[in-house]
Structures are given as C-alpha cells and as structure tokens.
Amino acid sequence: MKHITCIEDLRQLHKRRVPKAFFDYADRGSYTEDTLRANSEDLQQIKFRQRILVDVSKRTLATTILGEPSAMPLILAPVGLLGMQHGDGEIYACRAAQAAGIPFTQSTMSICSIEDIAAAVDKPFWFQLYVMKDRGFIKSLIERAIAAKCSALVLTVDLQVIGQRHQDIKNGMTVPPEWSLSKLIDFATKPAWVSGVLQGKRRTFGNIAGHVKGTEDLTKLSEWTASQFDTSLSWKDIDWIRSIWPGKLILKGILDVEDAELAAKTGAQAIVVSNHGGRQLDGAPSSIEVLPEIVDEVGSKLEIMFDGGIRTGMDIMRALALGAKSCMIGRAYAYGLGAGGQEGVAKHSTSWARSSPPRWACAASTPSPRSTTRCWRFEAIAIPPTGVVPAKAGTHNHSRARFEHGCGPNSSQQSSSVVMGPCFRTSACTHLLESSQGLG
C-alpha cells in the first residue's frame, strides 16, 4: 500500500479486491442516492480563505471525546458486515483505531460478536444498538455490552424502516446470498478475500446467531432479523434503555432541530448529526447543511458529533468550524479495510495524524459589517494551540448562493475569499486540525 495517497485510492483498491455485492453494500446509498451525493457535494461547497506567516511551530490534534482523551477528533462509526469486507474485519478495524488513539464503534449487525472483539483488543470500544421488537434480546445485548466493558452506547434512531438500496437488490445481497454464475466468477477471482473470510471467526451476524432461539440456520436468522426492526420505536424507549445502560449514551441519526431539542432532554451525553450516510431517507438534507442550526439550539447542552461525507482532513475542518466537537467516518475506513485489512484502516486513520505540514487551524469569522448577506468565511490560518476556542454559531438563513470577492450580492467589501453554500452569522472560532495532505 506504499502508493496509496487518498481515500479514493483505497476505494478503488477495495473495489478490485472485494466481491461486488459487498463493495456496493458499503459504497452505495438508498433509492436515487441524492442524499448520499449531497453529503459530499455540500461539504465541498464550503471554501477556505488561506492566510500565511503565522507561527505554527506548536500544534496538536489531541482533544477529548465524551471526556476521554483522543488523539484526534475522529471516531470510527458503526458499519455493518465489516467481517465480509475482510475476515474478522471488526477486530482489525478496532485494533487500528485503538493504535491510532481514537474510538471504534461496533455495529449490532457485525460479523464478529461483542465477545469476539473484547477478547481480541486491550481497550474498551463503543457499541452501536438497533432496537428490535424482541426486547428481551435487546436487554441481553445491552448487558453483553456492559459485560464487555464497552465505554459508550450509540443508539441509532433513524432505522425503524430500512431504506431501499437498489444496488443491494440488483446484487442479490441477501442472507443467505442469491447465487448466480456471475457471482461465483466474481468470488473465484478474489482468492485472497475468500481465504481471509473463510479463516475468520464467523460468516454470519455474530451478535445474533446462537443468542436467539432458532437462528442457528442462516435462512431463519435472516427471516428473524428482517422481521425485528421496530417501527413503533419512540422517545419513551430511550428511558427504558437508560434504565439498563449505566454508561455514556449517544443518539445517532439526528437531522432536525426539533429532534435535537428532544434528544437533549433524554439525558444523552451526545448526538450524532447524521442521515445514515445517505442510506435511509433519500431526499433528506445533507448532514453539513443542518449542522449549524442544531449546534445553535443544543450545542451548549450536549456534545455534537458529525457524520456524513467526510473523506479528507479538510472535511473535518469544515464540520468542526460549524460547531461539531468530533466526526465519525464509515465508508472511508471500510474502504481501507477492504483494501488491506488492519493496515488499510491504519493507512486511513493514522495518516490524519502523520500527514506532513502544513497543519492548519480553521477559523470562521464574522462577515464584513458592510455585507448585506451574512455568511460563513473559512480562513485557513495557522494558530498555535493556545489560540483555540470552541465554535459558536449564531442565527442563520439557508441561502445557498455563491458569491465571489465579497460576502453578498450587494456587498461593497472586496475580499479574496470565495464563499459557497449556506449563509450564517457566526462569532470567530478556531479549531486545530490537520490539512488533508495525506488524504487527498
């Protein structure tokens, strides 16, 4: 993996090394994939103003996440079926994250079980929970996470009904799989992947198989799982979960200010602003579009995490400047896992810390008082760690116009910055973060 320079390189290598059905499962979104595309495109619309000649000799990415030290403001998000991207994929991803000094989140729908990972790593990890109709099973699953010393519970709240993923249907992505001649040929041309998966501990949902009566058979397991997602899940169920789980609770899948306000009243320590990577409600806004107003409303009440479309260090800069405390990544490290196992994940995650200078602080400044349209400006200016202060967003409107050499269509203030995307008023904020030198 010597010549890997960016996430897209890992994606292309992943595509070559893993059967199409499993690559597409990680790579694609729901329906027409409008929201999937918007996650990345809206991030790219936010541009930076570069400033120079400020002392950057002292800099760090270190931060805290939920009160715990982290080497950088980055979390490996829950991703289902990692063990089908690479044998024992969840274990290797967790090891890579812990070596990099950042949290790893195991999915309920993982191949390795909670116990498999706990036995294979030295430090606590996070566990993500889908609430199913069988509350007895969910209670036991939470208790297993407690026994494994998981340090946070990530409750996904946007999957009561699964979004239709057209590519999964075309690929016959089922458990057990639908076999065809083309699929057999695809598998046969991936001998390293086949060998790795066959040597893995499991090839089914490790957290479910054997823990629910009658799910030892793959077909019955699939039928049980498909019938279990609970469409009646509501806010009152969070109280029930909190009565069992004694630790830190994170609600993942918040995309609306009113929901954020309700989430803040549950006693959760954090929320993740997320649209499930564009895999659920197609046509929903991008995560970055809604982040500032959610930060405005509840940023002082709980920790705000961001998820959706991040592929570079610059993307993390954008999210932090708009008020997120940390960011989750899913596809980006899944590509690394499929491309090269633990080394592939490490190539992704640790390169955020290893990338060569310059490392920039991101500053969002208030617009010129002569501007008729208030808007974000991002200045890539180098600021020593002592100058870092938290972001604080203010009022906002949702204009999506682009203005060059100024902050508004009638602005008399000439500026070298290019402003794109949502317009907001903000106080000055700075965040230390790597540039994307090593991640394209």
CB 108 within 8 A of CB 141: yes
Which range has the worst mean pLDDT, 55-69, 141-155, 319-333?
A: 55-69
Instruction: Give me 435's structure tokens.
Output: 């540039």
pLDDT at 334: 97
8 Å CB contact between 115 and 144: yes
pLDDT in tens, 282-293: 999 999 999 999
Is residue 254 within 8 Å of residue 275, measured between CB atoms? no
Give yes or no for residue 361 having a pLDDT over 90: no
Tell me how far apart the alpha carbons of residues 254 and 234 are, in angstroms, rounded to a whole number.
14
Amino acid at position 263, single letter: A
**pTM of the complete model:** 0.83
- Tell me which of 391 and 372 has the higher pLDDT: 391
What domains can be seen in the chain, in order of their start residue? Answer: 7-46+69-354 (3.20.20.70)
CA 357/CA 371 separation, integer angstroms = 34
**Cα–Cα distance for residue pair 432/113, rounded to 1 Å:** 36
Are 437 and 5 within 8 A, CB to CB?
no
**Residue 419's pLDDT is what?**
31
Cβ atoms within 10 Å of 219's Cβ, excluding its own: 11
3-state secondary structure of 224: helix
Whether the pLDDT of residue 70 is over 50: the answer is yes
The arithmetic mean of pLDDT across residues 427-440, rounded, is: 32
Give me the active site residues, please. Answer: 276
